[in-house]
Amino acid sequence: MKILDVFIQHAKSSLNKPFSYLYDGDAPIGVGYRVLVSFGKQERLMGFVARVSETNLTAKELEEANGFRIEFIHSVVDKEPLLNDELLQLADEVSQYYIAPKISVLQAMLPQSLKPSISSLRGPKIAYEDYLEAVDVDEDGLTDKQIESLRLVAKSELILKREAGTPAIVNALLKKGKVRIVKREKQRLHLEEYEKERPHDLNFEQLRAYEDILNSDKDVVLLQGVTGSGKTEVYLHLSEEYLKMGKNILMLVPEISLTPRMVEYFSRRFQSKVAILHSELTPAEKYDEYRRIAKGEAQVVVGARSAVFAPLSDIGLIILDEEHVESYKQDGQPHYHAREVAIMRAKHFGAKVLLGSATPSFETKARAMKGVYGYATILHRANAQELPATEIIDLTDKTIVDRQTKIFSKPLLDKMMEKVGKGEQAILLINRRGYSSYVSCSRCGHIFSCPGCRGNLTYHKEDGMLKCHHCGYVAQYPEVCPECGSTQIMRVGFGTERICKILNERFPELRVGRLDSDIGKVRNNVQKTLDAFKRHEYDVLVGTQMIAKGHDFPLVTLVGVVLADIGLSLPSFRANETTFELIAQCVGRSGRGESKGEALIQTYNPTHFAITLGAEQNYEAFYRREMQNRHISLYPPYAFLIAISISAKSEEKCVQASHALKDEILKAGFEDVTVLGPVTPYFSIVGDRHQRSLLVKYKKAPGIKKYLSDLQAEMSGKGGVEFGFDVDPIDY
Ligand code: ADP
Ligand code: ZN
Ligand code: ZN
């Protein structure tokens, strides 16, 4: 008989340990198999086997020896382990690095129908299709129709049963033993057939970057190339080189529905070698692609964040395009970042990781500057186009604001109509994040910020208060502006929808398209909108940062940022960085075709360095300046952060536990660890649970993660309190 150590499907910190079950069946079992078990009052849960050991004792003897009864599993679910050794080991590593329940990591790694969770049993399965194969081509005694059909089958190696003839004819042939059925896995994903494309020759700068990357002795290399410098072409050439060496390629993009051109580029170049994994696929399609990769039928995988877990073997190169984009970090448990996971995987294979961006994340840039990562650059655009001419528009100058719309300046509207009149296109950009939580004076642009830590205050609907997410400061919702006395305080709701409506009212003839995450919720909608814009069915596209990244629209000669300040008001140490990035990236969208582009940036802070340097696309100057801020306030990359979320049904217990946890950590005697909080997070109640959070900051604290993980095991679950960690949080 076997004893199985099993992780239960619930990703709760208090259940993050294996439980023992018995198994004495004949079906194969091992690490990486799923099993059905009962657990407490729950009759049927999914479990994941983490260890198998043999025992000579009977169930009864075990019960006597242990003092409690060990249950038998109900059944074994899989016929083979779900993950190979490399991926099982990766699951451990990710779970340790991110202090995340192991089961949550496994769930993040696997497609829906393979997840260790009971709902996976309803997910798509392998689908088979019937093909025919000729067995006996002797045509004696067959009707003409049957002969016709048999010849067709004989001629083709394998042919779909339904394509070989009517059911009656085919069944007759089957009965007479002329043909037989062969079952083959059905491929549900039909990729567009792309014609093979001849690669561009690399220009001088691209070639130098390519060689620097190939020859670098570092495992991780940053490729910093301005927008439009042709980084994609470098990725393609490098991929070709690694394929020649017999190695496989993992190509990650921030969100594939937003950068479909990467799929197109890779498919054109590498044809059927490419598999795709991203959120626009149906679960069935994802499952098929996953299996195709696991069976070794793809050499290149192009995909979004979770594709970093693709069961690709022999990886030689992992590329993250637009490595600074925050969608590489998963929002929920486990809060992994595809970049870190890529580096873990690359270590296993001795592979190279290439991080590409025009505006690298500070973490990456700092490591490249320190020589921890290799560094390659492309300083000029591939088509030698000049960067767009940029103008910053000061919205505090009321004479400049358009009376009717109130949120647009006259120069932006004039410029937009001028371009549209010439048959060109414009993009209007709105910052998705922080919208509506941001409070400001509509007369002078004053933004309400925290007197304690200068972070911006956000509006909480449930109690009508303004709150600081850094230090916990709260204030009444203001009646007048402390700067100018105006009573026109606005909770900014610059949704894309509203902007579109305002534009339509002002210019009924203008064809306005919209792109945001609401649109993105409907499958293929993003792609449709982008295609329509590319076909010039819209004059103007209004959108969130989705449109700021990666797209190539030759007719776009104007980019307008409707309000650059929204990013600055975010309660995050990254507020400047994200504002800079947004402006620099979207300015880079303009003027990719024949005509020179222009960019107009509307702001209440026309002299703020994140805005002025973003407009100039002067990454280096911005980096130097913002790094000083990070240094002074001790934020990444000068320190590491771990955010801890504490939740309980009782608010009192939640607060108590938060303070207790903070005290414990401080008492543990780590040298340079500070703990901030507890604070009430923006979503202070999730479901029926109250939330609080703590922030742990440290420079070097060996063993801190192990310590926190042990502490979690010891303290969580008690009194219904749960802890969760976000290692390297994006927003704080
Ligand atoms: P990035 O990703 O660095 O912003 P892209 O890869 O989108 O830039 O390339 C910008 C444009 O330059 C694309 O239209 C691409 O086809 C073109 N391009 C890239 N490399 C070359 C080259 N070597 N010769 C000619 N055109 C190129
Ligand atoms: Zn004011
Ligand atoms: Zn504060």
CATH assignment of the domain containing 711: 3.30.70.600
Least confident range from 188-197, 575-584, 679-688: namely 188-197
Half-sphere exposure of 677 (CA within 13 A, CB side): 30
Instruction: Check whether 521 has a pLDDT greater than 60.
Output: no
Please tell me if the CB atom of residue 206 comes closer than 6 angstroms to any atom of ligand 1.
yes
pLDDT of 125 reads 66
Among residues 458, 476, 494, the one where a domain terminates is: 494
pLDDT tops 50 at residue 434: no
User: Which of 213, 226, 383 best tests ligand 1's pocket when mutated (most atoms within 8 Å of CB)?
Assistant: 383
pLDDT of res. 213: 97
Closest Cα to residue 132, out of 118, 149, 120?
149
- Atom index in ligand 1 nearest the CA of residue 231 equals 3
Pocket flag, ligand 1, residue 230 (CB < 6 Å):
yes
Q: Does a structural domain hold residue 509?
A: yes
Look at residue 575 in the predicted model and tell me its pLDDT: 86
pLDDT at 495: 65
Express each pLDDT in 277-288 by its tens digit.
877 777 788 888
- What is the rounded average pLDDT of the residues 672-696? 84
| pLDDT attached to residue 31 | 93
Q: Examine residue 190 and state whether it is found in any structural domain, yes or no.
A: no
Please give the residue that has the higher pLDDT: either 4 or 120: 4
Report residue 519 as tokens.
């649109």
Residue ID of nearest Cα to ligand 1 atom 24 = 200
Answer yes or no: is the C-beta of 501 below 6 A from any ligand 1 atom.
no
**Residue 298 in domain:** yes
Residue 684, number of CB atoms within 10 A of its CB? 18
Report yes or no on 165 lying in a domain: yes
Pick the range with the lowest mean pLDDT from 47-61, 149-163, 627-641.
Answer: 149-163
Residue 223 has pLDDT above 70, yes or no: yes
Enter the tokens of residue 11: 């990703």
Report how many domains make up the chain.
6
Q: Given this model, what pLDDT does residue 348 score?
A: 96
Cross-strand bridge partners of residue 80: none
- 114 and 146 in a common domain: no
Domain that holds residue 456: 436-494
118 and 170 together in one domain: no
Q: Residues with Cβ within 5 Å of ion ligand 3?
A: 450, 452-453, 455, 468, 470-471, 473
Whole-angstrom Cα Rg for the chain: 29
Residue 725, strand partner residues: 644
Residues 669 and 718 in one domain: yes
For ligand 1, say whether the CB of 207 is within 6 Å of any of its atoms: no
User: 436: pLDDT confidence band, cut at 50, 70 and 90?
Assistant: very low
pTM above 0.85, yes or no: no
For 321-349, how does the pLDDT look when each residue is reduced to its tens digit (9 = 90+)? 999 988 899 988 899 999 999 999 999 99
**Count of CB atoms within 10 A of residue 200's CB?**
13
* Distant-in-sequence, close-in-space partners of 371: CB < 8 Å, separation ≥ 6: none
Residues 27 and 149 in one domain: no
Average pLDDT over every residue of 21-28: 92
132 and 114 within one domain: no
Confirm whether 116 is domain-assigned.
yes
Cβ neighbours around 65 below 10 Å, total: 10
Task: Verify whether ligand 1 is closer than 6 Å to residue 383 (CB atom).
Answer: yes
Are 275 and 238 in a shared domain?
A: yes
Sheet holding 179-185, edge to edge: 159-160, 128-134, 179-185
pLDDT tens readout for residues 168-188: 888 999 998 899 888 776 665
**Number of Cβ atoms within 10 Å of the Cβ of 668:** 14
- Ion ligand 2: protein residues whose beta carbon lies under 5 Å: 441, 443-444, 446, 481, 483-484, 486
Query: Quick count: other Cβ atoms within 10 Å of Cβ 410?
Result: 14
**Ligand 1 atom with least separation from CA of 203:** 23
Which of 201, 202, 207, 229 is the pocket-test mutation for ligand 1 (most atoms within 8 Å of CB)?
Answer: 229
383 within some domain? no
Q: Is the CB of 227 under 6 A from ligand 1?
A: yes
Does residue 588 lie within any of the structural domains?
Answer: yes
> Where residue 352 falls among pLDDT bands split at 50, 70, 90?
very high
Average pLDDT over residues 355-376: 96
* Averaged pLDDT for residues 576-583: 88
C-beta of 232 in contact with ligand 1 (< 6 A): yes
End-to-end CA distance of the chain: 51
Burial class (CB in 10 A: 0-12, 13-18, 19+), 394: middle
Q: Quick one: pLDDT at residue 221?
A: 98
How confident is the model at residue 435, as a pLDDT? 43
- Same domain for 515 and 550? yes
Residue type, 723: F
Give percent above pLDDT 90 in the chain: 45
Residue 575 CA to residue 565 CA, distance in Å, equals 10
The ligand placed nearest to the CA atom of residue 356 is 1
| Per-residue pLDDT reduced to its tens digit, 544-573 | 766 765 567 888 889 999 888 767 766 678
In this predicted structure, the answer to whether residue 373 has a pLDDT above a threshold of 70 is yes
Cα dist from 538 to 496, 533, 534, 551, whole Å: 15, 5, 8, 16
